[in-house]
Every structure is written in structure tokens, then in C-alpha cells.
Chain A
Amino acid sequence: MLDRLSIRNFCIIAHVDHGKTTLSDRLLELTRTVTARDMKEQMLDSMDLERERGITIKSHPVSMVYNDDGREYLFNLMDTPGHVDFSYEVSRSLAACEGALLLVDAAQGIEAQTVANAHLAVAQGLEVIPVINKVDLPSAEPERIQDQIEEVLAIPREETILASAKSGIGIDAVIRAVIDRIPPPAEPPAGIGTRGLVFDCVYNPYKGVITYVRIFSGEVRRGETVSFVGSEVSSQVKEVGRFSPQMVPEDSLETGTVGYVVTGIRDVAEVKLGDTLTRRDDPAREMLPGYQEVRPMVFSGLYPLDTSDYEKLKASLGKLRLNDAAFVYQSESSAALGFGFRCGFLGLLHMEIVQERLRREYGLDILSTYPSVIYRVKKTDGTFLEVDNPVFFPPQTELEWVEEPMIEATIHTPNSGIGDLLALISEKRGLVEGTETLDSQRVMIRAILPLNEILVDFNDRLKSLTHGYGSMDYEPKGHQVADLVRLEILVNEEPIEAFSSIVHRSKAEARGRALCEKLKDLLPRQLFRIPIQAAVDSRIVARETLSPMRKDVTAKCYGGDISRKRKLLEKQKEGKKRMKQIGSVSIPQEAFVQVLKSSQG
């Protein structure tokens, strides 16, 4: 086994799409971790959803052995996601590393998550190596980007590496820098005990809970008894190993390295991310720092379409949560929707991904209610409450005031887009705090905005205004009083809870109209004329009418046909399962997803 000094633990961080996963591909090839035959593009994006969407969702660890002129090094690499909703994944990975490759797209330059992730890495005390990627692009401007890096991140240009992950330029230089500039794992203080940081987990139906650990001191072997310091659960080690990138069993995991540990634990509640793994015969003197609890920003109700799937949904949420610590859930029930869960997410993409994973990986048909943030409410009777579900928003007559959560957004944009962008910010009830010039072509705007305004379509609008060159990062920034109301959607005169939302009074009508129009497109026509209405405090502010269907008839109908028709009906009932019957109308699962993609205002 390799000694501690030959180990390099590092991650690749960047803004979305700057080429992290592609650079990982090159490293996998160069170290022959994956044979040419098994190699495919963006190898580490192993989830179906990642491959379909072309984005990384989870951090993926992989161990590689590199032979540097006769001396072997063990590289433990983590490819991280770039999207702002998954920054919690990034920070968890950083805690397991000593260094970070900070990729910057040679054409796009520094973007919002470039800065955010660089700051995270520096704060964790990591050695940051800037790599300007995609220098093969005709529009690449490496020199300008070097200026930006000096300017914004205060890293001298001599320290940047020019590379192209796609065409294999500069990969040797990257490896050289990993070996020479990233420090090996620090020598653990004597007598501190065996300590491993649990930085990720998955549930495997055969093996139970599999923990991903970074060993800071001591070592872990198969057959030993280990325990989790925080949850105080102990168990025997069934298997240890490393990622190659699939799991490969080994005899032990040594000080400084990264790998996985299979214990006999099957109860997902017994393992927590950020906990410290230790050995019974070499117990940790104290816990590793661990992780901060994440605070979800967006909440939505998740319900099984088929009410009898409740238990299955509950079990699936538990398993999924093990692999995605950034979402939280708690049971709730609704008169119209039955039993379900109120879930908290880091953002809308995160919400979408969790739902999609439940549908695919766990085979569940679910619906989600319109997302909401947490409002603070003072009622006229002097009581306070926090509302994350529009259903519990008190009637106007009982409201003394409402405060909504705010964010501070950092928006990077080309100069040319700035006028439109300022208009967008003010449309979203935002206040610009200041602008900073990044270089001759780009500026950075800082603005305070209500969180609920950026949820649904802010990012898409930003991208389209700036032709894809704008980007945003944000963090919470207190609360502010606002004139908010509950907007209800009624289909055939029945309020559909799942579509209720809390909006600013000035926008209720426009949002109501947009939602009604969208639903008119999404709902299947029925035999009867169905009114679709938006209401604030039982006052109708918008209305559409779903016209009755025009044609729904099959041609043939004779004796020999009847038994066949029965089969058709059975199949159709299967299709119906994808619908939620609310009162007199059936709402397709699809509508709950699509309705989000509508609202302007």
C-alpha cells in the first residue's frame, strides 16, 4: 500500500459546464483507471438523470494510481456539480480534500459559481489551482481570463494552467501541479484515535447502507467493529474498498485515503452525513468537525398519486435522503391529496431532481404542490407563525404583517446585458446594491431580492437576456415585510390546493392569469365546460374556460369487439393512474410539473 505522502486528495470545482467531468475523463484515461474500451464521455456522470441532462448532480469520488517515473501516487479525485442548487455537495467534498482544481471556461470566464466555489475552497484551507479550460475554443481568451483571475480571486497569472479537457491539452501540467502543489494528507496527531469523515452515503438493497469516508487517522479493516461517534451506532465492517470508479473491495483503508465502508446497518436513520467513523479498539478522542446542517430554502408537498403508495414513498424518501442530505421532509396531510410529505429543497432544480429520482429510481408516481418559501407571519391576535405551505396562510383579516425571506444575489453579466438585467431585477421587486467591474467586458451586480421572486424563472430569464453569459449565485439575507396574499386556483369551482401560492399583491393578477392559461393547456378536456379561476381572498382575479372535448369515440362496436374493448379499458386505467382525481376533475401528473414552468410575474 502507498504511504501517506504519496496520496493526493483533490476535487474539481467550477461553474456549471466549465468542463469538470470532462477533465476527470482525461485523468481516468491517463492513469488507465478505466480501459479505453470501457471509457465513455463524462464517465463519472453515472446517473441516468445526469447523462440525460448533461449536468453533474452528485459528487463522484474516484481513486487513481499514477506512475510518475517510477514513483506511484494515489489520487483520490472528486468530481463535483457546478449548479448553485448543489453547492452543498461541493462543500461536503471539499472537506475530504487538501486541494482543488478550479476550472474556468476560457470563453465564458469567471462566473458566479466560480467565485462562490473558490471562496468555499479557500475557507476550507485548500490549495486552489486555477485551470483555464477549453483553450481549444476559437472564442477562447485565456489572457483575459488570467486577468480576471488575478483581479477577482487574487491568484497570480503564473499559477494558472492552460488546458483543454476535450482535446487533452495541458493535462500533464495539471497532473504535475496535483503532485507538486497539493499537499499530501497531514500527519495525524498521535493518539487521536481512528477517525473517518462520512462525506456521502448510498443505500444498496443487498448491502444496506454504504458510507463514503475520508480517513483522517488510523485505518479501517474488514471484520473490525466500527462505530459512528454521533449516532453511537456500532457494527461490524463487512467490506471496505475504493472507487475505481465502481466499488472495488480492498483489505483496508489507510490514513489519508478515501473509500467506502459497508457495515451491516440497514436502517437509514442510523447513519448521518458528517458523522465520524471510528474503531472500537482505537476510538476517536473527539469528533471531526462534520457538516453544518443545510437550511432548505424552498418547500413543496409531495404526495403519491395513488394514496396506497404512502408507505413506499416514505421508505423511498428515507433512502434518497441518505444520498442527498440537502433535502428534508416531514409528513403532512391534506384533505384533497391525502397523506404526503412537506419537503424542503435548496432550489428549484434540486426539487425537480429529487422528484425525478423518486419517479425513476423508486418507481413512484407522485405529484408536487406549488413551491413556497418560509414566511413569517404575525397575526392580529398577537401570535406568530412560520408558513411554508400556502394552505396555512391566514386570511387577510387575521394578518398583522408578513415577512418574506430575502437573498443577496451576485450576478455576473456582460456589460451589454446590463440594462435588461436591471429591468428584470426591478420587475422582481429587487434592489441593486452596487455594481463592480470585472474587466472591460463584464460586470458583477449585487442585488437584494425576495427569494420567492427568483424561484421560478429568474435564472432562465437571466440566461436568455444575456445569451447564456449571465450567471447568479445567492445567499440568504434576512427578512422584509411585504404585502403578500394567497393566490388560489379553482378548477370547476374547486380550489386545487396543490396550485395555491403566496404572491405579492401587485402580481397576483398576472400570476393568476398565467397559471389559468397554462392549466387550460395542460388539463385534458372533459365532457363538460370547466372553469379555471384564480382567486385572492375569494375574489376572482383571472379566469379561463376549458372547452368540452370535441371527439372521443372509437369507431367499431360489435359483438366480437366487446371483450377486446375491455382490455383497452384496463390499459387505459393504467394510464389513469398517472392522474390525480381531485373533486370532479382528473389532473395529470405532468400538470404538476409543467405548471411551474409557466409563471411569469
Chain B
Amino acid sequence: MVADAGTVGTAGRRGRPTAPADPSPLRRIPAGAALYLHVPFCAATCDFCAFDKQVPSPGDWQVYREGLEAEWALLAPEGPASSCFWGGGTPGLLKASDIRRIGDRFRRNLQPGAEWTVELTPQCLTREKMEAWREVGVNRLSLGVQSFSPSLLRALGRPHANDRVEAQVDRLRAAGWDNLNLDLIVAVPGQGPRELEEDLRRALALSPDHLSLYNLTLEEDTPLLARLAREGYRVDPENEAGLLEHAWDFLETAGFHHYEVSNFARPGHESRHHRTIWGMGEWRGLGPSAASQVGSYRFRNPHGLEAWRTALREDPPAVEERVELSPAERVLERAVFGLRTSRGFPVEAAAAVPGLEGILRRLEAAEWLRRGGDHWVPTRAGLLVADAIGREILASAGAGAPDFSLPAGAAPGNLQ
């Protein structure tokens, strides 16, 4: 184990006498970690989505709620977490009573004022839920808008209409929610610069503090990919690059800080949670298929409600895809993920892995990176090829680099 592993005293204050003095990494929630809660349910599922989710049948909610409690009981928090993110799926579907029950547990383990986000679709807003969120301490809402255009939503196979987003955001504002994120998708088949601008304009009119602008990825095993493949649709990287740059210009002009490939914030509103993860910090995920990185370990909960529940019968809970990363691998990953963000990667950190410095210099010569103070930071062109940069770093730096951990280039799901 490396770095911060086991730094906080582990015994005593957790009040869980059965836990051994040096808990398994599968049980740890290090102090200052980011918490992630996965909600595997959606009201209806979207054709482009490859997340672990299902339309809940009666009884599933209870199974889920009890599962979370069981999972929590197995874990050993070592100090308050720095942020919490309630994602999915559609956490917005949780009933007010569930929000209170689950939320309460986590609140007690968060730093005061810590960022706490819930993802929701504009459709699931009710006064009751808003109150419950407020009560447990949620302070940031992330709205999955994707697009305002009915025809683009249809092209995505997303069965939610967005005609009332504006009214709903007004209600949120009135209720005092000011920290809002909107999710939009770029490069939907049929979306040109005009349609894109229209979506951006309507989003900006809602004055969000944060925007996530995701390039549509055609994931394998999704109905959307199957449909487009049948229609002979081809992804055109040139065209997508053009659309992305167009959107980036638009948002930068509007005063947003482009701080990660797909993320924009008004200065000071960058997401703490995302930053922890991109900075290769520690995070613990709860719920089906949620991933965690604790100390030098990375692992994932089993996929699907049942498998997850079954895994929780063991102590420590059974996980999948568990790997231990070497110090060199962690440095490489910090470079790979860091170079997707405006923070970049510290120049001196490169010395830890033989060959890494040379690669970074070559990337600089090709104008994918530049030196910003004591960090390497991506150029705008570099952000557009961040996956290729990641592969280059993993492939050529330090023999024995991990061959598993990173965003592979053009996702194979893409019709290229």
C-alpha cells in the first residue's frame, strides 16, 4: 500500500467492535474520500445508455434500501468524506421517505458543508422530495436534460420530454436551489452547429453554475447502437471535433471555465467530487456496480440488484475486478486522468516513472500539452485527443504499465 493508506486511526471511534484493527481495503472509507451512491433505477430507460439500471418492479426499492443499509454496516469510515454524489440511474426517483432514511446515514459521515449532489431528470421534481433533499444536506442538483429538442431526444431514444424544464428550474430557484448542473449531449445524429447552439442557449438561459457537455458515445450493447448500425450510420470524428470546439468556444465566451474534457463551471463552482476522482484521490462507491478506489486498490461491486445483495452477505463484501495498483501505475494514471483536466499533472511527479518525462516532452513538441507553471496541462487540441494521449502514456512509459485501467481511444462502440 502506498501514500495515504492507513493514515487515520482505524479503531475506536467507529463503534464497530467486530472490525479488525487493520480493516480490509474492501471495508475502508478513508477520511476525506468521495462517496458515491449508485441508484440502479430509471423511470424508463434510454436507448443510448449503458449504465447499470432497470425499471424498478415493486419491492425493488425495499431490496435496494435494505442493501444500502447492509453495505453501510459492513464499511468502516475513518473520518468524514469530502463529497457525496448520488448518481445512477435516476436517484431523483427515490421517494422522500427513502431519501431521508438513506440520506441521514451519510450526512453524519460528511464534512460540514461538503458538496452533495443528486442526479435527477427534470420530470421527477416534487416539493416533498425537494424538502427531503434539503433536510439531509443535498446542496447541488444535476439535471439530465441531454437536449431541449424533441427530435434530438427522439434520435437518442430518450423517453422523457423536456418541454417543462424551464418551469421546473424556476421552481427550484424559488425554493432556493442555486447550485445547479445541467447535462447536455453533443453529436447526436442529426445535430448540426445550429441545433447545438439552440440547446446551449436554452441551457444558459437557466443560468446554471455548472454544465456537463458529453460527446455522445455509442456504447456497445445499447439499443441506440444497434439501431444506428442498422441504418448504416457512421461516426465522423472530424465533424464531432468541429461540434465540440464550437460548443467549447460558446461556453468559454459565456464565462465558463473549461476544467475537464466534458465539464464547465462558473469560476469557483467546479465540482469537488469530480476533482477528487480525476485527481486519482480515493472514493468509495455503494450500490450495484459502483466502483471504488481505496488506497492502492480498485474494485467494483457486482452488477445488478440481486448479485449485489448476495455479495453483501460476505464480510468483507464480495467485489469484482479487484486490482492493486503499483506506485508507478498510480503515477501514470494521475498523468492520464490529470491531462484531461485544466489542473494537469505536476511536472516533478513525472520523475517517478522512467520514460514518462520523455513522452510528455514529445507530446509538448506536438502541441498536445504545454507547461503551465509547475504543471503539464493539455492544450485545447490535446483535450480532443485525451484518450490517445492516455494510451501513449500507458503504452510507452515504464514497462509493465497497466493495460487495463484507462479510457481506450475511440470507444469500440463507436461506428468508426
Contacts and interface: CB of A to CB of B under 8 A. Distances in A.
Nearest to B87: A560
Given A555-B262, A559-B34, A559-B292, A550 B407 contact: no
A561 interface: yes
A569 interface: yes
Given A527-B363, A527-B389, A571-B412, A550 B238 contact: yes
A558 B142 CA distance: 15
A556 B217 contact: yes
B405 interface: yes
A549 B385 contact: yes
Contacts of B278: 557
A555 B241 contact: no
Interface string B194-221: 0000000000000000000011110010
Contacts of A571: 220, 408, 412
Nearest to B38: A560
Nearest to A550: B241
B405 A565 contact: yes
B384 A563 contact: no
Given A527-B385, A559-B285, A552 B237 contact: yes
A548 B260 CA distance: 22
A529 to B, nearest CB: 7
A233 interface: no
Most chain-B CB neighbours within 10 Å: which of A548, A552, A565? A552
Contacts of A554: 215, 217, 387, 407-408, 410-411
B262 A527 contact: no
Contacts of B299: 563
Contacts of B343: none
A552 B238 CA distance: 10
Nearest to B396: A584
B179 to A, nearest CB: 18
Contacts of B404: 566, 569-570
B314 interface: no
Contact of A569 (B241, B277, B290, B406): B406
A562 B285 CA distance: 12
B337 interface: yes
Contact of A551 (B238, B274, B291, B368): B238
Given A559-B36, A566-B404, A549 B388 contact: yes
A101 B383 CA distance: 68
A577 interface: no
Contacts of B215: 553-555
A558 B274 contact: yes
Interface string B368-397: 100000000000010111111100100000
A403 to B, nearest CB: 47
A583 to B, nearest CB: 13
A568 interface: yes
A206 interface: no
A280 B333 CA distance: 72
Interface string A75-98: 000000000000000000000000
Interface in B335-352: 337, 340
Contacts of B383: 553
Interface in A189-247: none
Contact of B298 (A529, A562, A570, A575): A562
B133 to A, nearest CB: 21
A564 B407 CA distance: 9
Contacts of B403: 569, 573
Interface in A544-601: 548-566, 568-573, 575
A528 interface: yes
A488 B389 CA distance: 31
A563 B300 contact: yes
Contacts of A557: 260-262, 278, 337, 340, 407
Given A552-B384, A552-B387, A527 B408 contact: no
B313 interface: no
A386 B38 CA distance: 70
A552 B321 contact: no
Contacts of A572: 408-409, 412
Q: Identify the interface centre among A526, A563, A571: most chain B CB within 10 Å of its CB.
A: A563
A507 B298 CA distance: 59
B134 interface: no
Nearest to A558: B277
Contact of B385 (A551, A555, A564): A551
Most chain A C-beta atoms within 10 Å of own C-beta, residue among B290, B363, B392, B408: B408
Nearest to A561: B291
A559 B283 contact: yes
Contact of A555 (B217, B285, B366): B217
A344 B388 CA distance: 40
A552 B392 CA distance: 12
B385 A553 contact: yes
Contacts of B216: 555
A558 B215 CA distance: 14
Interface in B229-248: 237-238, 240-241, 244
A583 B362 CA distance: 17
B289 interface: yes
A56 B412 CA distance: 36
A568 B385 contact: no
B365 to A, nearest CB: 9
Nearest to B236: A551
B406 A565 contact: yes
A180 B371 CA distance: 91
A19 to B, nearest CB: 34
B363 A553 contact: no
Interface string A133-155: 00000000000000000000000
Contacts of A573: 403
Contacts of A558: 274, 277
Nearest to B320: A563
B146 interface: no
B293 interface: yes
A527 B413 CA distance: 21
Nearest to B274: A558
Interface in A341-398: none
A518 B205 CA distance: 49
Contacts of B285: 559-560
A568 B411 contact: yes
Contacts of A529: 366
A575 B405 CA distance: 17
Contacts of A528: 362, 366
Contact of B261 (A553, A565, A575): A553
Interface string A471-505: 00000000000000000000000000000000000
Nearest to A571: B412
Interface in B146-197: none
A551 B289 CA distance: 29
Nearest to A584: B396
Given A528-B362, A562-B298, A555 B384 contact: no
A441 B274 CA distance: 78
B321 A560 contact: no
A571 B238 CA distance: 24
B408 A551 contact: no
Contacts of B36: 559-560
Output the residue of B291, B337, B368 with the most chain A CB within 10 A: B291
Interface string B252-271: 00000000111000000000
B408 A563 contact: no
The 7 closest A-B pairs by CB, nearest first: A551-B241, A569-B408, A552-B388, A555-B214, A555-B215, A572-B408, A563-B300
Given A555-B217, A565-B405, A575-B412, 5 more contacts: A550-B384, A551-B384, A558-B277, A559-B293, A572-B408
Interface of A: 526-529, 548-566, 568-573, 575
22 contacts: A527-B366, A527-B385, A527-B392, A549-B237, A549-B388, A551-B238, A552-B385, A552-B388, A553-B340, A553-B383, A553-B386, A554-B215, A554-B387, A555-B216, A557-B337, A559-B277, A559-B291, A560-B290, A562-B298, A563-B291, A563-B320, A572-B409
